[in-house]
Structure 1
Amino acid sequence: MGDAYVWVADLDARPEEAAVLAGRVMDWLEHRGIVQGELTNCLPGDELGRPPGPHAARAVTENEVALGAACGVGMEIERRVYLCADLWTATCPACGATTEPADRGPDMWTRAWAPLLDDLYAWFGGTGPGSGVCVRCGERSGFSDWTIHPPVAVAHLGLVLWNWPLLAEPFLAELSAVLGGHRLVTARTTV
């Protein structure tokens, strides 16, 4: 089995405040003992992150965070699209139309719904608005208004926890409070 990571996207963080909020989150995580204070080579590749702290289990749904070669926490302070590796469906908030996978191949629905994917890629590339157009009704809605499963989020601030279990709801509520009540979206994906 490969590496996996849990991501938490802050839907409300503005680009100009993302760095300050990231610092606040990391200070809070360290103070609570969820992560250690020093940056180490605990993330995949050459990135530095914070290894799990003595109280990391307080943040997750399981009793512990298993330590391994790539087991750490990093903050992402940039325009990102967070998603899972699984096939996802999106439902338009205006008309209720839903992307539907065809019976041939995991990406078949993208042919009909390519404009929504194009909007996501354009936002990620810095050239598009934070909204997607429905191919059925033509309405443009903010990405956070679409019902997407497994979750997809567009954000300027994200927390990434490599090889951690799912995060516990009480921890996510506290994290939201640290961020000023911001809306959070989270999921776990395997790479």
Structure 2
Amino acid sequence: MRGMGDAYVWVADLDARPEEAAVLAGRVVDWLEHRGIVRGELTSCLPGDGLGRPPGPHAAHAVTEDAVPTGAACGVVMEIERRVYTGAGLWTATCPHCGAKTEHADSGPDMWTPSWAPLFDDLYAWFGGTGPGSGTCVRCGERADFLAWRMDPPVAVAHLGLVLWNWPPPAEPFLTELSGVLGGHRLVTARTTV
């Protein structure tokens, strides 16, 4: 069960291919352990029943604040799967071809107006394993890779992600080093409250 106010920071690797995600995840975990960012043992340090790695003695070197919170639910986990990483709130997608922006719905269960539902459907199809990783703009009709769409606040479509439960945002030097560990891959990060 998640506690009230739990949040996580995600760092998504935009360039990891599905067939290399597991190897890259192992490389990241080894690096995090070696640097003392996380401890080597898996414990029940995640919300719910999941296992993760608790903060290590040098965890504060990875974040923008002086200390990493301690407690039952402040662990780190690598996700090796097809994921759409988003924040908890509303976000906007901008077409790379014509600059059209998605429009937020005024009410109801949908995030965007019904006219933009096809783009959301494309995203869900990719997440479900049946879509091509691109979305069609309802204004100009052009299809573009999801990585080309400008999404604000950040949204990432990825096969590999680092999730830090109840940690402060990662520091830029940490993200730069992490990108190097991943072979110079592009990273996107944001915080989500649940």
Q: TM-score range by the shorter chain?
A: over 0.9
SS at match of 1:118: helix
| 1:159 is aligned to 2:162 | yes
In structure 1, the gaps of 5 or more residues are none
Residue in structure 2 matched with residue 53 of structure 1 by the alignment:
56
| 1:143 is aligned to 2:137 | no
Residue in structure 2 matched with residue 8 of structure 1 by the alignment:
11
| Letter in structure 1 aligned against 2:75 | G
| Letter in structure 1 aligned against 2:83 | R
Q: CA deviation at 1:101?
A: 2.1
1:113-160 per-residue CA deviation (whole Å, 9 max, x = no partner) reads 111110110001000011111000011111111110111111111100
Contact 2:90 2:111 in 1 (8 A): no
Distance 1:135 1:100 in 2: 11
Residue in structure 1 matched with residue 126 of structure 2 by the alignment:
123
Q: CA deviation at 1:103?
A: 4.0
Residue in structure 2 matched with residue 169 of structure 1 by the alignment:
172
Coordinate RMSD, CA, aligned: 1.3
1:145-188 per-residue CA deviation (whole Å, 9 max, x = no partner) reads 11101111111111000000111111101100000000111100
Residue in structure 2 matched with residue 42 of structure 1 by the alignment:
45
1:40-89 per-residue CA deviation (whole Å, 9 max, x = no partner) reads 01011221110000111111111111111111000001111111111001
| Letter in structure 2 aligned against 1:33 | G
Contact 2:103 2:116 in 1 (8 A): no
Residue in structure 2 matched with residue 23 of structure 1 by the alignment:
26
| Letter in structure 2 aligned against 1:126 | G
Q: How does the TM-score come out when normalised to structure 2?
A: 0.95
Match 2:114 to one of 106, 111, 114: 111
Structure 1 runs of 4+ with >6 Å offset: none
Q: Percent identity?
A: 83
Distance 2:135 2:80 in 1: 23
Residue in structure 2 matched with residue 90 of structure 1 by the alignment:
93
Distance 2:55 2:101 in 1: 39
Contact 2:9 2:168 in 1 (8 A): yes
Distance 2:24 2:79 in 1: 11
In structure 2, the gaps of 5 or more residues are none
Q: How does the TM-score come out when normalised to structure 1?
A: 0.96
